[in-house]
């Protein structure tokens, strides 16, 4: 029996797991996918918002500003790259100017510090490649960029280091409850827990309805993105927004923590909660719209594209103990600014659990520090020498585009949450994230996983389940004998 | 610090030929730096034959062709550092490398030859919409799996793009028992060699669907199918022509991109069309003492051409190191005129030419019965009537030094196609 089971190992579920792992609690973090950060947490804008967008008084407004404040400490403790690059909301005409002033006021009401409007000269000094049509911008220095899957992985790893269990690749099928506990039935196990946290992203409403709570509905809102080559990293220094629309914050152009440029998203409501397919029209739409902000954004520089689903439920987050059972905490409708808010949501949920009767005693040996995988590519010569002296595998480059070494991949395979799929390696060590999109390193990464874990090469998947990469051996000749 | 007379970056066909030529031209200490565990580059996975017809006048497989040069390199005492990655090159030829034996090292080179080859365009670069399942490979990655690692990438295969590797893999996978359903080519002509279309597709009854592309990828975990569609003259899919093709694998053979990240960080001038360094007749880049050859400069069809071109680079690098390279500016600009997509080299210094200089170029469309015109800023040099020219087959023209010398003080040579595209 667990004290708490968390359904959904996205950024919200993982941050909650990490926060709860401070206390003397037994925790289980569950996900239907084969890695953490496999849903919305891997397909979003990767922005730490300043907090001026949300209506004052909403959960979004409060948690955004609080989450933005917490982000620095969380990322420092968890060794996650976070860059407070600041954001610029562009205005192209008088109507936009009105919007800028409105949002600046709203931001000040929400408690966002240092907001100011900058005009053409200063704006174009700050960003050399934005459109000449931009006349002014709302500058929010506290906005930043973070890697959303790295934050998720780091938080989940830190939870595991501090004693949480993690169970991946199992879908929750039903939830029973009685007076002292819940029984969460998955495709693999039945898990008993005294408290349940529903952090299931686009499925949060389906999970809640398993205990008869139909108080909210999630609409998946698809957003498509393109990633540009690092060679174009100079195109934007800040997060560059356009005036928001009814469907969201609009198409942005932003640097990523890794030095690429991210373009997107559009916003289209979809019916299918698994529909993460990009569309030709959608990709065209975001590139065309992005060029309004940064005209030099070009299809020629796209190295990959992806789509993510925002979990939208009305105009605000739905974070509350269920009316059906207060030991069941709903964390639903976590669309933007969900990533920014995640650390603050974790604190809020902990408080709800406390109020619902969960006794939370601080754990004496809680370790808030999680050390990430060394990043050879970001090191100076001395650091590189020291790393290789420690382990020569850090001297062997496997992914040439991103300069990822064998040592980093071996470490990713052997982390507290082991990475045994190509996508899991990619999100931890960046092998395959570069301009060749894993063309050269795939065979070598598979060889390392196989060797480290004793899995046959043709048993390795892209992302778990039936996503097998190779369909078998060619023929049982010499090569086969060598391998076995 | 380590010092070498000539450092060659990349141990594929270009690097091997350059290294051998550098030794033959008198450079004593020539070193190849190769990131793979063995020399030979991509040829090691090209187990089909057809290599070496021009240079060795026989048909060799890729590994056989590579071995000839590896043997020559050995005979000539060329050094090599294998399993070693070059991290940085400076304009004054300091090279930072890393491997798991010696860690980080800095090498000072008398001259440098860039021979890093190219990479394949990926799905991302094409921006093919749809899901992101397993089972999408570039043709070269699939080739490595089949020919070197001994694994099948899939069983029911659609190939997008009719580049040579895609054609070769269509045959290869058929021979291994896979069902290759079709090759789709967005252009009205193939970018592959005619002989590969005949020998790899026609002989095996694999359909080649010209003016078709993949417009969507289906399948959540493993690819389950693709939607293909006919395209119009602007390469835009024609509504209503969509067709669902079930498959478990999509191979991409949609172009090769010279790998010039090192060149770029060294500040070498690149040609926006080829993506490779701008070079002169000696294959010298915009930075004196740094030469480039093979697919890092422009993507070749035939390895024989790579070897020939790379020998020029290797020899020039040796001369540079020995202080025997005429460092005067190249006086003649070589330009791609109408109908010519790009041309290599981009400049000629006649004093450095031994006997003749060969211009390599590609036309931008299919031309039947057109005329290739070579002219200078002063006059038309000559016209050559060509039966057919296609973008997939590189053209070349050899210009004798004695002939060029007679043209007086010329500043430009222009190659153009005089005639209509089909």
Say yes or no for a CB contact (<8 Å) between A280 and B98: no
Contacts of B130 in chain A (CB under 8 A): 277-278
* A102-106, A213-217, A286-290, A473-477: the lowest-pLDDT one: A473-477
Contact present, A22 and A362 (Cβ < 8 Å): yes
- Per-residue pLDDT, averaged over A2-29, amounts to 98
E strand spans, B83-148: 85-89, 94-99, 103-114, 118-120, 136-138
Distances (CA, A) of A15 to A157, A198, B342: 10, 13, 54
Helices A338-355 and A11-20, interaxial angle, to 10°?
40
Residue A431 falls in which region: left (phi positive, over 0), alpha (psi -120 to 50) or beta:
beta
pLDDT of residue B1: 87
Residue B214 CA to residue B245 CA, distance in Å, equals: 10
Contacts of A479 in chain B (CB under 8 A): 148-150
B40 and B96 within one domain:
yes
Q: Is B72 helix (H, G, I), strand (E, B) or coil?
A: helix
Residue B131 CA to residue A337 CA, distance in Å, equals: 25
A350, containing H or E segment: helix A338-355
Residue A148 CA to residue A145 CA, distance in Å, equals: 9
C-alpha A160 chain-centroid distance: 18
Q: Looking at the complex, report in whole angstroms how far the Cα of residue B206 sits from the nearest Cα belonging to chain A.
A: 21
**Tokens, residue A136:** 């002014």
B194 and B146 within one domain:
yes
B67, containing H or E segment: helix B62-75
Question: b/e map of B404-419 (b: 16 or more CB within 10 Å)?
Answer: beebeebeebbbbbeb
Q: Which has the closest alpha carbon to B159: B143, B181, B186, B140?
A: B181
CATH architecture of A87-141+220-307: 2-Layer Sandwich (3.30)
Q: Looking at the complex, report in whole angstroms how far the Cα of residue B139 sits from the nearest Cα belonging to chain A.
A: 9
Q: Which has the closest alpha carbon to A237: A113, A141, A132?
A: A141
pLDDT of residue B420: 75
The residues, any chain, with a CB within 8 Å of residue B57's CB and separated by 6 or more, are none
Residues B54-105: pLDDT tens digits? 999 999 999 999 999 999 999 999 999 999 999 999 999 999 999 999 999 9
Which positions 72-111 of A are in contact with B (Cβ < 8 Å)? none
Helices B303-321 and B62-75, interaxial angle, to 10°?
20
Residue B361 CA to residue B372 CA, distance in Å, equals: 11
Nearest CB to B150; choose among A274, A440, A474: A474
Contacts of B215 in chain A (CB under 8 A): 280
Q: What would the DSSP string read from start to end of B217-256?
A: EE-SSB--EEEEEEB-TTSPBPTT--EEEE-SEEEE---E
Say yes or no for a CB contact (<8 Å) between B216 and A280: yes
Q: What is residue B92's DSSP assignment? A: T
Say yes or no for a CB contact (<8 Å) between B103 and A274: no
pLDDT of residue B125: 82
Nearest CB to A472; choose among B120, B130, B152: B152
Q: Looking at the complex, report in whole angstroms how far the Cα of residue B46 sits from the nearest Cα belonging to chain A.
A: 15
Say yes or no for a CB contact (<8 Å) between B150 and A436: no
Interface test with B, best of A283, A287, A397 (most B CBs within 10 A): A397
The half-sphere exposure of A237 on its side-chain side, counting CA atoms within 13 A, is 9
Distances (CA, A) of B318 to A306, B110, B276, B330: 48, 8, 22, 19
The residues, any chain, with a CB within 8 Å of residue B234's CB and separated by 6 or more, are none
Interface test with B, best of A410, A438, A440 (most B CBs within 10 A): A440
Phi, psi of A283 (to 5 degrees): -65, -40
Say yes or no for a CB contact (<8 Å) between A475 and B176: yes
Q: Is A154 helix (H, G, I), strand (E, B) or coil?
A: helix
Residue B381 CA to residue B371 CA, distance in Å, equals: 13
Q: Are strands A2-7 and A27-30 parallel, antiparallel or unpaired?
A: parallel
pLDDT of residue A480: 44
pLDDT of residue B167: 97
Q: The domain spanning residue B31 has which CATH number?
A: 3.50.50.60
Interface test with A, best of B125, B166, B173, B225 (most A CBs within 10 A): B125
- Per-residue pLDDT, averaged over B244-263, amounts to 96
The residues, any chain, with a CB within 8 Å of residue B352's CB and separated by 6 or more, are B280, B281, B282, B316, B325, B326, B330
Nearest CB to A397; choose among B98, B102, B138: B98
Instruction: Give the confidence band of A483 by pLDDT, cuts at 50, 70, 90.
Output: very low
For chain A, the residue count is 484
Indicate if the pLDDT at residue A65 is higher than 70. yes
Nearest CB to B152; choose among A381, A401, A473: A473
pLDDT of residue A245: 81
Distances (CA, A) of A479 to A473, B43, B146, B229: 10, 18, 10, 39
| Closest residue on chain B to A386 (Cα) | B103
Q: Looking at the complex, report in whole angstroms how far the Cα of residue A480 sits from the nearest Cα belonging to chain B.
A: 7
- Per-residue pLDDT, averaged over A4-25, amounts to 98
Contacts of A458 in chain B (CB under 8 A): 151
| Closest residue on chain A to B83 (Cα) | A396
Q: Which of B293, B310, B327 is the last residue of a domain?
A: B327
Residue B54 CA to residue B222 CA, distance in Å, equals: 43
Contacts of B94 in chain A (CB under 8 A): none
Give percent of chain B above pLDDT 70: 100
Share of chain B residues as helix, strand and coil, in percent rounded to the nearest 5: 25, 35, 40
| Closest residue on chain B to A400 (Cα) | B85
Strand-pairing partners, residue B399, are: B357
Residue B36 CA to residue B84 CA, distance in Å, equals: 7
Say yes or no for a CB contact (<8 Å) between B127 and A396: no
Say yes or no for a CB contact (<8 Å) between A396 and B35: no
Q: Which domain holds residue B244?
A: 122-254
Indicate if the pLDDT at residue B393 is higher than 50. yes
Q: Which has the closest alpha carbon to A31: A217, A197, A224?
A: A197
Say yes or no for a CB contact (<8 Å) between A283 and B129: yes
Class of residue B286 by CB neighbours under 10 A (exposed 0-12, middle 13-18, buried 19+): middle
Q: What is the dihedral of CA A28, A29, A30, A35, to 10 degrees?
A: -140
Say yes or no for a CB contact (<8 Å) between A440 and B141: yes
Sign of CA dihedral A129, A133, A135, A138: negative
Residue A423 CA to residue A357 CA, distance in Å, equals: 39
Residue B360 CA to residue B346 CA, distance in Å, equals: 10
The residues, any chain, with a CB within 8 Å of residue B380's CB and separated by 6 or more, are B373, B374
Phi, psi of B76 (to 5 degrees): -85, 5
Residues B228-246: pLDDT tens digits? 999 999 999 999 999 999 9
CATH dotted code for A1-80+145-218+313-372: 3.50.50.60
Contacts of B223 in chain A (CB under 8 A): none
B248 and B264 within one domain:
no
**Tokens, residue A141:** 């220095």
Given A49, A128, A129, A238, which residue is catalytic? Answer: A49
Question: In the β-sheet with B412-418, what is the strand arrangement from edge to edge?
Answer: B347-348, B332-336, B412-418, B367-376, B380-389
Q: How many CB atoms lie within 10 A of CB A354?
A: 12
Question: b/e map of B190-211 (b: 16 or more CB within 10 Å)?
Answer: bbbbeebbebbbeeeebebbeb
Say yes or no for a CB contact (<8 Å) between A395 and B104: yes
Say yes or no for a CB contact (<8 Å) between B151 and A458: yes
Q: How many CB atoms lie within 10 A of CB B336?
A: 21
Give percent of chain A above pLDDT 70: 98
Which positions 293-322 of A are in contact with B (Cβ < 8 Å)? 299, 302-306
pLDDT of residue A320: 98
B49 and B15 within one domain:
yes
Q: Which has the closest alpha carbon to B410: B382, B381, B376, B383?
A: B376
Contact present, B115 and B30 (Cβ < 8 Å): no
Q: Looking at the complex, report in whole angstroms how far the Cα of residue B261 sits from the nearest Cα belonging to chain A.
A: 9
Q: What would the DSSP string read from start to end of B149-207?
A: I-EE--SEEEEES--HHHHHHHHHHHHTT-EEEEEEESSSS-SS-HHHIIIIIGGGT--
Q: Which of B254, B270, B286 is the last residue of a domain?
A: B254
pLDDT of residue A484: 40
**Tokens, residue B208:** 């080649």
| Closest residue on chain B to A274 (Cα) | B220
pLDDT of residue B115: 98
| Count of domains for chain B | 3
B109 and B32 within one domain:
yes
Say yes or no for a CB contact (<8 Å) between A457 and B127: no
Q: Is A362 helix (H, G, I), strand (E, B) or coil?
A: strand
pLDDT of residue A409: 98
Sign of CA dihedral A402, A405, A410, A414: negative
The answer to whether A268 is a known catalytic residue is no
**Tokens, residue A338:** 């969900």
Contacts of A422 in chain B (CB under 8 A): 134
Max distance between CA atoms of chain A, in angstroms, equals 73
Residue A22 CA to residue A60 CA, distance in Å, equals: 25
Interface residue A456 vs chain B (CB under 8 A)? no
Nearest CB to A400; choose among B85, B101, B249: B85
Residue A268 CA to residue A266 CA, distance in Å, equals: 7
Strand-pairing partners, residue B245, are: B226
Which positions 389-418 of A are in contact with B (Cβ < 8 Å)? 389, 392-397, 400-401, 403, 406
Residue B295 CA to residue B394 CA, distance in Å, equals: 13
**Tokens, residue A400:** 């040439």
Averaged pLDDT score across all residues of chain B: 96
Say yes or no for a CB contact (<8 Å) between A471 and B248: yes
Contact present, B15 and B294 (Cβ < 8 Å): yes
Q: Looking at the complex, report in whole angstroms how far the Cα of residue B410 sits from the nearest Cα belonging to chain A.
A: 37
pLDDT of residue A476: 57
Contacts of B153 in chain A (CB under 8 A): 469-471
Averaged pLDDT score across all residues of chain A: 96
Say yes or no for a CB contact (<8 Å) between A396 and B132: no
Say yes or no for a CB contact (<8 Å) between B149 and A463: no
């Amino acid at each position: 029996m667990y004290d708490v089971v968390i359904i959904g190992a996205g950024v919200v579920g993982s941050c909650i797991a990490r926060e709860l792992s401070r206390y003397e609690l037994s925790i289980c973090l569950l996900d239907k996918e084969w890695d953490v950060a496999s849903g919305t947490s891997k397909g979003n804008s990767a922005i730490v918002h300043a907090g001026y967008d949300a209506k004052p008084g909403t959960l979004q407004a409060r948690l955004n500003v609080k989450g933005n404040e917490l982000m620095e400490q969380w990322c420092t403790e968890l060794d996650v790259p976070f860059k407070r690059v600041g954001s610029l909301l562009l205005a192209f005409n008088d109507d936009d100017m009105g919007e800028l002033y409105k949002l600046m006021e709203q931001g000040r009401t929400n408690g966002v510090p240092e907001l100011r409007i900058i005009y053409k000269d200063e704006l174009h000094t700050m960003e050399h490649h934005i459109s000449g049509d931009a006349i002014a911008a709302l500058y929010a220095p506290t906005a930043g960029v973070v890697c959303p899957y790295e934050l998720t992985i780091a938080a989940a790893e830190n939870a595991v280091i501090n004693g949480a269990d993690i169970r991946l690749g199992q879908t929750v099928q039903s939830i029973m409850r009685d007076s002292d506990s819940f029984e969460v039935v998955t495709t693999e196990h039945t898990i008993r827990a005294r408290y349940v946290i529903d952090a299931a992203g686009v499925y949060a409403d389906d999970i809640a309805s398993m205990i008869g709570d139909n108080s909210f509905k999630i609409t998946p809102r698809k957003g498509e993105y393109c990633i540009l080559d690092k060679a174009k990293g100079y195109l934007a220094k800040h997060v560059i927004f356009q005036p928001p629309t009814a469907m969201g914050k609009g198409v942005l152009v932003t640097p990523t923590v890794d030095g690429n440029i991210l373009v997107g998203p559009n916003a289209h409501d979809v019916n299918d909660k698994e529909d993460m397919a990009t569309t030709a029209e959608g990709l065209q739409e975001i590139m065309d719209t992005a060029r309004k902000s940064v005209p030099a954004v070009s299809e020629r520089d796209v190295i990959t594209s992806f789509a993510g689903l925002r979990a939208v439920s009305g105009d605000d987050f739905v974070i509350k103990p269920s009316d059906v059972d207060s030991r069941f905490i709903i964390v639903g409708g976590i669309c933007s600014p969900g990533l920014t808010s995640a650390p603050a949501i974790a604190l809020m949920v902990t408080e709800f659990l406390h109020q619902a009767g969960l006794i939370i005693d601080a754990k004496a040996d809680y370790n808030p520090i999680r050390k990430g995988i060394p990043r050879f590519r970001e090191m100076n010569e001395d650091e590189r020498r020291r790393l290789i002296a420690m382990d020569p595998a850090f001297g062997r480059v496997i992914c040439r585009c991103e300069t990822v070494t064998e040592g980093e991949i071996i470490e990713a395979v052997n982390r507290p949450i082991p990475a045994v799929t190509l996508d899991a390696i990619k999100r931890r060590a960046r092998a395959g994230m570069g301009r060749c999109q894993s063309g050269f390193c795939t065979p070598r990464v598979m060889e390392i996983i196989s060797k480290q874990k004793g899995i046959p090469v043709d048993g390795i998947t892209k992302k778990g389940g039936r996503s097998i990469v190779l369909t078998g051996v060619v023929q049982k000749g010499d090569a086969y004998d060598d391998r076995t | 610090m380590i010092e070498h007379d000539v450092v060659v970056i990349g141990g594929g066909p270009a690097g091997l030929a350059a290294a051998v030529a550098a030794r033959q031209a008198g450079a004593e200490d020539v070193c190849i730096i190769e990131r793979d565990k063995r020399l030979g580059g991509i040829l090691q996975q090209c187990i089909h034959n057809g290599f070496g017809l021009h240079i060795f006048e026989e048909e060799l497989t890729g590994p056989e062709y590579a071995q000839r040069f590896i043997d020559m390199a050995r005979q000539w005492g060329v050094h090599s550092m294998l399993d070693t990655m070059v991290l940085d090159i400076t304009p004054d030829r300091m090279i930072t490398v890393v491997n798991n034996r010696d860690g980080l090292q800095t090498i000072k080179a008398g001259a440098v030859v860039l021979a890093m080859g190219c990479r394949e365009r990926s799905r991302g670069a094409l921006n093919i919409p749809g899901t992101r399942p397993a089972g999408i490979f570039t043709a070269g990655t699939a080739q490595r799996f089949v020919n070197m690692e001994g694994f099948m990438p899939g069983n029911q295969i659609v190939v997008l793009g009719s580049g040579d590797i895609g054609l070769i893999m269509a045959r290869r996978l058929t021979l291994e028992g896979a069902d290759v359903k079709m090759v789709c080519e967005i252009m009205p002509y193939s970018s592959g060699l005619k002989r590969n279309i005949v020998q790899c597709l026609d002989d095996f009854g694999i359909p080649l669907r010209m003016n078709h592309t993949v417009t969507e990828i289906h399948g959540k975990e493993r690819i389950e199918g693709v939607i293909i569609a006919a395209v119009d003259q602007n390469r835009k899919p024609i509504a209503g022509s969509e067709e669902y093709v079930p498959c478990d694998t999509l191979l991409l053979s949609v172009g090769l991109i010279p790998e010039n990240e090192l060149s770029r960080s060294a500040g070498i001038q690149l040609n926006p069309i080829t993506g490779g360094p701008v070079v002169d007749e000696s294959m010298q880049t915009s930075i004196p003492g740094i030469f480039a050859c093979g697919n890092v400069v422009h993507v070749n069809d035939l390895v024989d051409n790579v070897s020939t071109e790379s020998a020029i680079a290797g020899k020039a690098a040796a001369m540079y190191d020995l202080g025997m390279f005429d460092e005067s500016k190249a006086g003649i600009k070589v330009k791609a005129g109408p109908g010519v997509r790009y041309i290599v080299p981009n400049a000629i210094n006649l004093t450095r030419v031994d006997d003749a200089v060969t211009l390599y170029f590609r036309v931008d469309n299919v031309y039947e019965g057109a005329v290739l015109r070579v002219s200078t800023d002063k006059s038309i040099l000559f016209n050559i009537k060509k039966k057919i020219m296609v973008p997939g087959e590189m053209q070349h023209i050899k210009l004798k030094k004695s002939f060029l010398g007679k043209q007086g003080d010329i500043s430009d040579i222009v190659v153009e196609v005089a005639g209509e595209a089909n």
